[in-house]
Amino acid sequence: MPAPGRFPLKIIGTLLLIAVAGGAGYYYYARSKEDGRAPEYTTTTIARGSIRQVVTATGQLDPLLSVDVGSQISGLVQKLYVDFNTPVTKGQKLAEIDPSTYQQKLRQAEANLASTEAGNRLQRLNTERSRGLRDKQLISQQDYDQALALLQQSDAQQLTSKATVENARVDLERCTISSPIDGIVISKQTEEGKTVAASLNAPTLFTIANDLAKMQITAAVAESDVGSVEAGQKVTFTVDAFPNRAFTGLVTQVRNAPKSTSNVVTYETIINVDNKDLKLRPGMTANVSIIVASRENTLRIPNSALRVRLPENSGVKAAAAGPAPATPSAAPAPSARPAGNAGGDGGNRRAGGDAGGRRGGFPGADATPEQREQMRAIMAEVGLTSFRDATPEQREQFRKLLTERGLLPAAAAPGESVVTTRTLYRLPGGKKDSTPEPVAVKIGITDGSASEVVDGLTEGETIITGLVTVTGASPASQPASNPFGGGRRF
């Protein structure tokens, strides 16, 4: 006879085992039903629009010409005639320094000059008298030569006194500070009663800008982007004071002098700006977008379509030649488009990168298995095990081999754009239950979110931009869930 209390425990254990078995059966049944349903795609329709490939940078607004007006003499500021934002003309009086000291110096120099001139006249008469006596043989030649030497010394003293007078007169004139150009006072660094001390350097009293209706931006363009920036390219920019307004400008100069800050090399790019309404002010920070390539009314696709890779068991139709690797070719840019090193390998760029998930020009997550295998072979050929430990020479050799073997787009010549061939997935008839078919498409420039379709697709076709449910995929082959998305995507 079983012990009291053991029989209920066996019943409970049996019930738990039945419940676990039922739950497992239901799980596998639901999983099989889920694996059997049709895949769910996110799609888009090919349409026309505008694409602008830009290089971004920041810079500061400055007047075309600004002059620091200082003082070459020391003294007390006696009078100011201008203030901030005062329009001035060339030669207009800006300020006066107390002239008393310099007036006294001028009078003293003039007195010394008068004394020197009197002595010179006396010496000249003595020399003429000595000449007459010498002609009559009444004095020696030595006495006559001494008289001539004294006259020459007197002439030199007279010239020195005249120079001292001119110097004192110039210093007196410098007590009046005048504007060297037409413009407007944008800075005033002195006040009435303040003492100006001009010892080694001329202290700055005013800063005058010639014309605020014409300004310029000095933008710092990264070395990875400066190759596509040229004089004559159009520019759009914003300032924090007017965040909802876009201003325009024109690149006028790309300076060759590099500047290095925290191991980041930049090049100053000068952009001329029209400021007729005087809304822009000196010193404002400009967020610049230099338009290096532009396409109007062109076929465009979202860049997410370039990153789609369907697994072999998803039911996709086999391509005739398999997925095409990114093979670059150069296409002439229309004359109406801005010249530049435009290409599909750079959109809204700051430190390099390109469409399709590339950064610094290297194939990224969008690379096909064949491309990845070729990259691994090239790394072994160069002797690379990790990019982190690679030397600059190894990186350059690796990049060169990638370009030679068609894994990297070659640099475009001026007036041309790089065109790459990519594999996209099209839904025939635009129906989501259709079997996707791969299609090789030539891709042009990109703005970071959309790319230009050069060839391979027509307007109105439907392409896949993402995959939510994969047919017949095992859990191991499923991509990791995106914590910011609504499901699994490719």
Cα 153–157–158 angle (5° rounding)?
Answer: 115
Report pTM.
Answer: 0.63
* Residues 108 and 40 both lie in one domain: no
Instruction: Give yes or no for residue 112 having a pLDDT over 50.
Output: yes
Higher pLDDT, 378 or 302: 302
Task: State the average pLDDT over residues 35-49.
Answer: 78
Instruction: Give yes or no for residue 489 having a pLDDT over 70.
Output: no
pLDDT number for residue 35:
53
* Residues 152 and 44 both lie in one domain: no
Q: Is residue 256 part of a domain?
A: no
Top-confidence range, 122-136, 233-247, 308-322, 401-415: 233-247
Instruction: Give yes or no for residue 240 having a pLDDT over 70.
Output: yes
Q: Is residue 461 part of a domain?
A: yes
Task: State the average pLDDT over residues 155-176.
Answer: 94
Q: Is residue 384 part of a domain?
A: yes
* Residues 461 and 314 both lie in one domain: yes
Indicate the burial class of 197 (C-beta count within 10 angstroms; 0-12, 13-18, 19 or more). Answer: exposed
Q: Is residue 419 part of a domain?
A: yes
- CATH number of the domain at 149, please: 1.10.287.470
* Residues 40 and 104 both lie in one domain: no
* Residues 319 and 442 both lie in one domain: yes
Q: Is residue 225 part of a domain?
A: no
Instruction: Give yes or no for residue 487 having a pLDDT over 50.
Output: no
Task: State the average pLDDT over residues 7-25.
Answer: 69
Top-confidence range, 160-174, 385-399, 414-428: 160-174
* Residues 427 and 302 both lie in one domain: yes
When pLDDT is cut at 50, 70 and 90, the band that residue 367 belongs to is low
| Domain assignment of residue 384, given as a range | 36-48+298-469
Instruction: Give yes or no for residue 359 having a pLDDT over 90.
Output: no
Question: What's the total number of domains in the chain?
Answer: 2
Task: State the average pLDDT over residues 361-390.
Answer: 71
Question: How confident is the prediction for the chain on average, in pLDDT?
Answer: 79
Task: State the average pLDDT over residues 212-241.
Answer: 94
When pLDDT is cut at 50, 70 and 90, the band that residue 41 belongs to is confident
Task: State the average pLDDT over residues 162-168.
Answer: 95
When pLDDT is cut at 50, 70 and 90, the band that residue 285 belongs to is very high
Residues 174-221 have pLDDT tens digits of: 999 999 999 999 999 999 999 998 877 888 999 999 989 999 999 999
When pLDDT is cut at 50, 70 and 90, the band that residue 401 belongs to is confident
* Residues 40 and 139 both lie in one domain: no
